[in-house]
Structure 1
Amino acid sequence: MNQRFVQVDPAVRLWSEERGDPRNSTLLLIMGAGASGLGWPEELVDALAARHRVIRYDHRDTGRSSLSFDTHPYRVVDLASDAIAVLDAYEVERAHVVGLSLGGMLTQLLIADHPERLLSATVMGAGALSSTPLSHPDGSRTPVDRLPSIDARVLELWSRPHEDRGLEGELDHRVEHWRLLNGDQIPFDPEEFRALERRVIEHAGRYEAPMVHGRADHSGMDRTDELARTEVPTLVTSAPAEPVFPPPHPDHLAQVIAGARLVEIPGMGHALPRAVHAPLAAAVLAHTRAVDARVRPGAAS
């Protein structure tokens, strides 16, 4: 396991980590808004690293990366450029990319804007960057603005004012957040997520969370045409207990990305509890193995 910092520009430095055999194809993990790379559970990262050189990193204003938004504001599309900067720093020409939540949106930007850098893509827990309506088997169509909205309980928690709760109070708040994001199908283990957040806080060296990604400029993200004609092999995970982009958002996403394949992860919500690690890793690895077999004959063994 190796760590390094990636200097994106004079104001932005990103923490990153790699593990796994460097001779294997690279898999880049992109986390959600306000979440550092340590939001990817160790067991899941290790499962993916059994077949890949896995790289994860801290977004700007998370973890050990630069806290830069207040002095150098940026756009969400700049966060996608950061992913390319990480690949460049590791001298990776093409990678499998897996993104969750905001990371899933950034993955779509990479599919659209940098297809030559992707071996494959996996998108989880994200809305489509497309204005194309959802088509139903009966021939009807649902406009994007009529798709289900975020669970009201999640919105209420997000609306609470940011305050200094102290370390234990901050941990309580984060665990409650994960409880809601977990959904109602897989039993929630608060100690599992408390331990995860303790590691995140120890890694960052602070418990205060800037949470500035929601303030970043979200304009210029529609990629309807580019996603409709992409040739990047894409897997979309369907999470039946998803509270942020509930079904049928995954069906919509799989429709707007050309050739995308949809796979349901039983019981999954917007979190990554231990119960989903094995089926999620199996789905991702089946996807990447098939692509590697085409791109690098013999790599799927």
Structure 2
Amino acid sequence: MQQFIDAAPGIRLWTEPRGPVDAPPLLLVMGAQATGVGWPEPLVDALAAHHRVIRYDHRDTGRSTWSFEEQPYRIADLATDVIAVLDGLGIGRAHLVGMSLGGMLAQMVLADHPDRCLSATLIGTSTLSTTPYTRPDGRTVPAGELPGIAPEVLELWSRPVEDHGPAAEVARRIEHWRVLAGDQLPFDAEYFRALEHRVIAHTGHHRTSTAHGRAEHDGMLRTEQLATNEVPSLVICAPAEPVFPPPHPHHLAQCVRGARLVEIPGMGHALPPAVQGPLATAILAHTGAATG
């Protein structure tokens, strides 16, 4: 059942809890411009068999307040929204699972509010640390010199987002997913078409906000806090990742003290059916060990 949370003056966030009320809470934090509906139903159901799972819409996505044009905010404010969701639902501590930008927000919460975290799972993201990456041969690489975003992704992101109607918007999003999914698994266009139709039905319109790309990114580094982390943390390695390609996940696992690394074969920067089962298994093994 959906519930709205007042996260800040004039800001309401859509949330959807699922699973037993008395089960350990697990909060799903999606990526930039992505709604909570972007978390696949089978994955949510698999997690909800063991957890009280909460997914939510960021500001300027889905059914949450679209406010950036009148009330600009920083990316750091999206991290405070994570705590606001927990507070609004009366949750003291939760397992966090963050995807892409959501993985960065989870790192910020991990660093700033470790007392609110039962565990953290970081997917398709990059570290908020300036610590160099240590290669298997022992040599170090400055964090800023790790591989960048794939050219085909950058080219797609450089195109202006224009409104040519719902059908054209769905087609644009499918092409976006084709590039993000990587090249190691067959691309299922119909799966992503159905996903985007659900997102549009949930949101109530087909418009896409660019707010998260324009929000200030200052104040996000957490080098020291991540290096002294004590919260059980898992980093998911996606070998076909085009946004934060390996060794970004290996670097992240080095920066977050005590973090484990698990690879999901064929995974890119998307959650198609082929990766949902292995991902659920990895997350549940991690949260189960952390919960004790």
TM-score range, shorter chain: over 0.9
Runs of 4+ in 1 over 3 A off after TM superposition: none
1:249 aligns with 2:221: no
Q: Distance in 2 between matches of 1:215 and 1:136?
A: 33
1:163 aligns with 2:155: no
User: Which consecutive unaligned segments of at least 5 residues does structure 2 have?
Assistant: none
- What is aligned with 2:200? 201
The two structures have a TM-score, normalised by structure 1, of 0.96
Q: Distance in 2 between matches of 1:257 and 1:78?
A: 22
Q: Distance in 2 between matches of 1:217 and 1:81?
A: 14
1:92 aligns with 2:91: yes
- What is aligned with 1:177? 176
- What is aligned with 1:146? 145
Q: Distance in 2 between matches of 1:283 and 1:205?
A: 34
1:112 aligns with 2:111: yes
Q: Distance in 1 between matches of 2:27 and 2:164?
A: 33
The amino acid across from 1:227 in the alignment is L
Deviation string 1:181-220 (CA, Å, 9 cap, x unpaired) is: 1000011100000000000000000001112101001001
1:13 aligns with 2:4: no
SS of alignment partner, residue 213 of structure 1:
helix
SS of alignment partner, residue 171 of structure 1:
helix
1:28 aligns with 2:27: yes
Deviation string 1:155-204 (CA, Å, 9 cap, x unpaired) is: 00100012102100000000000000100001110000000000000000
SS of alignment partner, residue 282 of structure 2:
helix
The amino acid across from 2:261 in the alignment is L
1:292 is displaced (CA, Å) by: 1.0
SS of alignment partner, residue 15 of structure 1:
strand
Q: Distance in 1 between matches of 2:111 and 2:99?
A: 17
The amino acid across from 2:162 in the alignment is E
Q: Distance in 1 between matches of 2:36 and 2:102?
A: 11
1:137 is displaced (CA, Å) by: 2.6
1:10 is displaced (CA, Å) by: 2.4
The amino acid across from 2:286 in the alignment is H
Q: Distance in 2 between matches of 1:47 and 1:137?
A: 35
The amino acid across from 1:90 in the alignment is L
Q: Distance in 1 between matches of 2:181 and 2:122?
A: 17
SS of alignment partner, residue 183 of structure 1:
coil
Q: Distance in 2 between matches of 1:59 and 1:230?
A: 26
1:139 is displaced (CA, Å) by: 1.8
The amino acid across from 2:9 in the alignment is P
Q: Distance in 1 between matches of 2:225 and 2:140?
A: 21
Q: Distance in 1 between matches of 2:256 and 2:64?
A: 31
SS of alignment partner, residue 207 of structure 1:
coil
The two structures have a TM-score, normalised by structure 2, of 0.99
Q: Distance in 1 between matches of 2:18 and 2:210?
A: 28
- What is aligned with 1:268? 267
Q: Distance in 2 between matches of 1:241 and 1:11?
A: 40
Q: Distance in 1 between matches of 2:115 and 2:167?
A: 45
Q: Distance in 2 between matches of 1:190 and 1:10?
A: 40
1:9 is displaced (CA, Å) by: 2.1
SS of alignment partner, residue 242 of structure 1:
coil
The amino acid across from 2:114 in the alignment is P
User: Which consecutive unaligned segments of at least 5 residues does structure 1 have?
Assistant: 294-301
Q: Distance in 2 between matches of 1:220 and 1:10?
A: 22
**Matched-pair identity in %:** 62
1:40 aligns with 2:29: no
SS of alignment partner, residue 91 of structure 1:
coil
SS of alignment partner, residue 121 of structure 2:
strand
